[in-house]
Amino acid sequence: MSKRVLTTESGAPVADNQNSASAGVGGPLLLQDQHLLEKLARFNRERIPERVVHARGSGAYGYFEVTDDVTGFTHADFLSTVGRRTEVFLRFSTVADSLGGADAVRDPRGFAVKFYTEEGNYDLVGNNTPVFFIKDPVKFPDFIHSQKRDPFTGRQEPDNVWDFWAHSPEATHQVTWLMGDRGIPASYRHMNGYGSHTYQWTNAEGAAFFVKYHFKTNQGVRSLSGEQAAELAGKDPNSHQTDLLQAIERGVNPSWTLYVQIMPAAEAADYRFNPFDLTKVWPHRDYPLQRVGRLVLDRNPDNVFAEVEQAAFSPNNFVPGIGPSPDKMLQGRLFAYADAHRYRLGVNHTLLAVNAPKATTAQNYGRDGLMAANPQGRHAKNYEPNSYDGPVETGRPLAAPLGVAGHTGTHEAPPHTKDDDFHQAGELYRLMSEEEKRRLVANIAGGLSQVSRDDVIEKNLAHFHAADPEYGKRVEEAVHALRED
């Protein structure tokens, strides 16, 4: 059987892919060698700007299957029938490091799910922690700058990390999560995922509910100690990618059970703390977990760059029956995520295979721009309304409207009776076993003791004291012991 012919990008056959054209034997190369110039020019452009956060990632395809009836809470079509399956793509990631960083590090993990529903793509963008470090998006660039490489030293600096946390007491809850036993997952398969934000569901009658998503791993939660992680990162920086790839290739398909917490919208205003605060969890005794379905990953991408690096998730990709809440961090991300992808991938990134709808067809009036395919044909119009049978609006909102009132301005969130930055961090600490507490204290002290300024150390210690007196006392003693050595 004859082999396929190698061609240039314009389709012309390539005569020699081993030697460049030159001016005589041993002479200089020729500018007319189109094949050489095309290869080098494409090679120079093989990389695109990496994500500012969540740069290091892995992903896989699979399906989501509904196991329980939730139609009383949402009219989302893909959740409408028990047994119904929807194709998904899930991207895992670390947050702070660059594309070349190691997988086994102490860092939150991104957990982003794209549901290819028949009503369009629904993106649920979360983490492996139910809370986050800050509650207002105006602080997000500052927070990330404090955690990334210092512009002078070119490395992550404990002074920057802990100085920001010292001035952000709302971070205490997430710091307790991060420095605890679940701060370094053993693999992507062995960690939970959370929507983290509060979202809105609306049922067929128009009743609104606020929800939080919990993906519980069916493999069991497994984590690494700091020592185990350092050893693994040195041996195989790609440890989590390797584990996910090989598990699926062996047919050991990882899965998660999706649960939701559901709060009737009318209860939000008088709840004892702000239910839209990303630094808080809703106690399960108030809003128990309700099972929704099962997410299974069963197919690896064929090309990591095309399908993982170019995968674009945006929390403003909703479907009918699901919408946003007044969660400030979510509101900021509704803009920021989509804008990041337009910068990295171009305005037509939604036409890429991994991002395009699979169970339906996108129909709109977006045209042109970088890498435009524009398959609509010669008679398609790029404006609406029109007289040419173009797509039209439905008049049906995706979710229930959110009530607003008052004057514009830079307001703090309205106070609730039990709003504070430390209570839930203390509750999390008190839930831990003695061994878990010991490791948590050691992890915090190991980082905080490296800070050069005493006032920054004291500000952070005050946060742990406020969360729980024993917690603060143990961290303080451990830090002082390390600084005296």
| Pair 48, 309: CB distance under 8 Å | yes
Distance between CA atoms of residues 256 and 274, nearest Å:
28
**Residue 67 CA to chain centroid, in angstroms?**
25
**Residue 337 CA to chain centroid, in angstroms?**
10
Distance between CA atoms of residues 234 and 216, nearest Å:
29
| Pair 115, 318: CB distance under 8 Å | no
221: Cβ contacts below 8 Å, ≥ 6 apart: 182, 185, 190, 191, 192
Catalytic residue chosen out of the listed positions 35, 54, 75, 173: 54
SS (H, E, C) 238-292: CHHHHHHHHHHHCCCCCEEEEEEEEEEHHHCCCCCCCCCCCCCCCCCCCCCCEEE
Q: Is 127 a catalytic residue?
A: yes
Q: Is 197 a catalytic residue?
A: no
The DSSP call for residue 2 is: P
Closest CA to 424 of 192, 214, 174: 174
Distance between CA atoms of residues 225 and 184, nearest Å:
7
Catalytic residue chosen out of the listed positions 35, 75, 121, 127: 127
Q: Please identify which residue in the block is written with the tokens 């452009």.
A: 45
- According to DSSP, the residues that pair with 371 across neighbouring strands are none
Name the helix (H) or strand (E) containing 427: helix 423-431
DSSP 432-485: S-HHHHHHHHHHHHHHHTT-S-HHHHHHHHHHHHHH-HHHHHHHHHHHHHHHH-
The DSSP call for residue 162 is: H
61: Cβ contacts below 8 Å, ≥ 6 apart: 87, 88, 89, 90, 297, 298, 299, 300, 301
Q: What are phi and psi of 390, to 5 degrees?
A: -80, 170
Closest CA to 305 of 236, 270, 354, 244: 354
Distance between CA atoms of residues 158 and 450, nearest Å:
6
Token couple for 269: 């205003």
Q: Cα–Cα–Cα angle for 208, 210, 211, nearest 5°?
A: 130
Distance between CA atoms of residues 57 and 240, nearest Å:
9
Q: How many residues appear in the chain?
A: 485
Q: Is the peptide bond before 13 cis (omega within 30 degrees of 0)?
A: no
Closest CA to 358 of 154, 114, 177: 114
Question: Which positions are catalytic?
Answer: 54, 127
